[in-house]
Homo-oligomer: A and B are copies of this chain.
Amino acid sequence: MGIGNVTERRLAPPQVGISVVILALAPDRGEAGRGRLWLPLVRRVRQPYLGMWALPGGGLSADRTLESSAYKALESTTSLHPRYLEQLYTFGGPDRSRGGLPMVSIVYWALVGQAETRDLAEADNVKWFPEDELPELAFDHRRIIDYALWRLRNKIEYPDVAVRLVGETFTLGQLHDVYEAITGESIDLANFRRRILASGQLEDTGAKQRIGRHRPAAVYRYVSRPADPDDGERPDLWNPAQWARSDRSDGTTRTAGERAGNQDARAHADALSALAR
């Protein structure tokens, strides 16, 4: 691709790997503690950083997409099958290079539901850690995790993200707990319920679930496609036709928040300005 446009270049090829930050909620919901976020780490069996904990990862292969490379790396190191996997950022730079070789990590982040959590066979070299009690980490993986958590907290506004952290089905109370766990704020349950239902992304399964000894709650399921015929396809990174100018066919109006900007956008912009003169 862009390589070869520049005549002067004759550099040693960089080392490239894929790493994944997997996030999940603590398995239990209940009295004990509000759910914390946990993530699995693997112990390094090679130099450098031998014996230290690191993000699961792997290499690229020519016949896979980056996503499926990430997926496979995850599977082969932890047996987990995330339902949400998104490219987070690509890290590089002088502080990462070893022996004059640029070291590049393409980092994905993944969310797994509580049910899938069991898939992870904890072993000597794979272990869950709570987000706020991480061991010392290899490379700059600590920084990467912090960034992933920050992204999660700034992205939690989108219903689909939170939904991946609970199971396939869930009550609004459970989902509410997830939101509170992630944002760290307390959220009015009544308003939360209305908002989330109004988004049209949830579907009542008809089932009821009794959590404690109280009134049973309705069980919902996430539906990505609300029964809303007139809003166009959402863009798909692999389907360029969908990136065409859309004109908001869903008829919604833009609100202040959309315009004011989320931290996400700012972080990158500011990061640049701090650096590129």
**Chain A residues near B (Cβ < 8 Å):** 1-19, 42, 44-46, 54-69, 71, 73, 76-77, 81-87, 89-94, 96-97, 100-107, 139-143, 146-147, 149-150, 153, 155, 157-161, 184-185, 195, 199, 224, 234-240, 243, 245-247, 252, 254-277
Pairwise interchain contact B63-A97, C-beta atoms closer than 8 A: yes
Q: Are B62 and A150 in contact (CB under 8 A)?
A: no
The 4 closest A-B pairs by CB, nearest first: A2-B57, A257-B258, A158-B261, A2-B19
Asked if B62 and A97 sit within 8 Å, CB to CB, the answer is yes
Decide if A93 touches B106 in the complex (CB within 8 Å). Answer: no
Chain B residue nearest to A20 in the complex (CB): B2
- Give A54 Cβ to nearest chain B Cβ, in Å: 6
A254 CA to B12 CA, complexed, in Å? 48
5 contacts between A and B (CB under 8 A): A4-B44, A89-B237, A150-B235, A157-B260, A257-B257
In addition to A1-B4, A61-B102, A161-B265, 10 A-B residue pairs with Cβ atoms within 8 Å of each other are A1-B91, A5-B55, A8-B76, A11-B60, A63-B97, A65-B92, A83-B273, A158-B266, A256-B257, A258-B262
Note all chain B residues with C-beta closer than 8 A to A269: 84, 86, 158, 160-161
Which residues of chain B come closer than 8 Å to A18, judged between CB atoms? 2
Q: Is B86 in contact with A224, judged by CB distance below 8 angstroms? A: no
Contact A59 B146 (CB under 8 A): no
Question: In the docked arrangement, what's the CA distance between A66 and B178, Å?
Answer: 35
Most buried by B among A5, A16, A60, A185: A5
Residues of B within 8 A of A260 (CB): 157-158, 199, 252, 255, 258
Q: How far is the CA of A199 from the CA of B161 in the complex (A)?
A: 28
Q: Is the CB of A15 within 8 A of B13?
A: yes
A97 to chain B, nearest CB (A): 4
**Across the interface, do A139 and B1 meet the contact criterion of CB distance under 8 Å?**
yes
Asked whether, in the complex, the Cβ of A106 is within 8 Å of the Cβ of B105, the reply is no
Taken together as a complex, chains A and B put the C-alpha atoms of A94 and B68 apart, in Å, by 11
The residues of B that contact A235 with a CB separation of less than 8 Å are: 150, 263, 266-267, 270
